[in-house]
Amino acid sequence: MAKRLLIILTLFLLALMFWDVVASYSEKQQLAPVAAHYVGQGPDELGAPNLVTAVVVAYRGLDTLGEVTVLFLAALAVGLLLGTGASERNTGPANPASEIVETAVEYLFPIALLFGVYIFINGHLSPGGGFQGGAVIASASLLLFLALPGVRLRHALLSAIESLSGFSYVLVGLLGLVLAGGFLDNRALPLGDYGALFSAGTIPIIYTLIGLKVGAELSVVVERFRGNA
């Protein structure tokens, strides 16, 4: 009972703290100076219409490299925890899906894959990007596992894709160090026409690499959780 009281007291004090923030909050009327610079100069400096992508890939590209590393470590940890013990878990034979679901998934899987690729290639033009596209690819794999329990991923191929794209990401970053202003600077390649598919320097290349890496990584993570992998 005392524990319950302590929990309620903790939550009450937290709520009091939060209430102070909400009460003193007023909606902003204009951008902060840094954001104003990104919005005002970003399109000219980097040539990417989607400013969130410009911030993620170029202005704060190092954060994204760290983020990709964290995701890689998480995938590694999941593989370490579930990889070896997984075969001992007897989940039993999975029930096969009905023929309608199987056929539908066989048609939908390439379309979902293509949609994921579309999202990460257009990341600098429209809402989307490498992580979002990679997540769509991973959910396509999840759909495949749900409908066809017997299907296996080719882990060797996927880890080759993953490590190659991670390596190329750093390589493209170093290219910015040599040809432009600094590590991960996207102006290593010409900026091209504003709003065209092949524009904004190395941003589409980096987002494609991130999309491939995240898609491969998350597909393997999803398969690990399936159990009888």
Partner 1 sequence: MTELPLSTITLSTGFGLMLIGMWGMLVRKNIIRMIVGFSLIDTGIHMIMVSLGYIRGGTAPIIDGSVDRATALTRVVDPIPSALVLTAIVIGLGITAVMLAYAVQIHTHKETLSIEDCSDSKW
- Which of 52/143 has CB closer to partner 1? 52
The answer to whether residue 179 forms part of the interface with partner 1 (CB under 8 A) is no
Single residue of 38, 120, 145, 169 touching partner 1 by CB under 8 A: 38
Count of CB atoms situated within 10 Å of the CB of 225: 12
For the chain, the farthest-separated pair of C-alpha atoms sits apart, in whole angstroms, at 67
Of the candidate residues 21, 100, 156, 178, the single one contacting partner 1 (CB under 8 A): 21
Of 127 and 190, CB closest to partner 1: 127
Interface size with partner 1, residues (CB under 8 A): 58
Instruction: Quote the CA–CA distance of 123 and 129 in Å, as a whole number.
Output: 4
Residues whose CB falls within 8 Å of the CB of residue 224, separated by 6 or more in sequence, listed in order: 78, 79, 82, 83, 86
Question: Which of 51, 191 has the CB closer to partner 1?
Answer: 51
- The answer to whether 155 and 163 have CB atoms below 8 angstroms apart is no
Give yes or no for a contact between 46 and 54, defined as CB atoms under 8 angstroms apart.
yes
Q: Yes or no: say if 46 and 200 are a contact pair by the CB < 8 Å rule.
A: yes
Tokens encoding 24: 């003193």
Query: E strand or H helix at 45, and its extent?
Result: helix 33-46
* Window 47 to 86, contacts with partner 1 (CB under 8 A): 49-52, 54-56, 60, 63-64, 67, 70-71, 73-75, 77-78, 81-82, 85
When asked if residue 103 is in the footprint of partner 1 (CB under 8 A), the reply is no
- Pick the closer one to partner 1 by CB: 74 or 174: 74
CA-CA distance, 170 to 184, in Å (whole number)?
Answer: 8
Residues that bind partner 1 (CB under 8 A): 4, 7, 10-11, 14-15, 18, 21-22, 25-32, 34-36, 38-40, 42-43, 49-52, 54-56, 60, 63-64, 67, 70-71, 73-75, 77-78, 81-82, 85, 88-89, 125-127, 129, 131, 195, 214, 221, 224-225
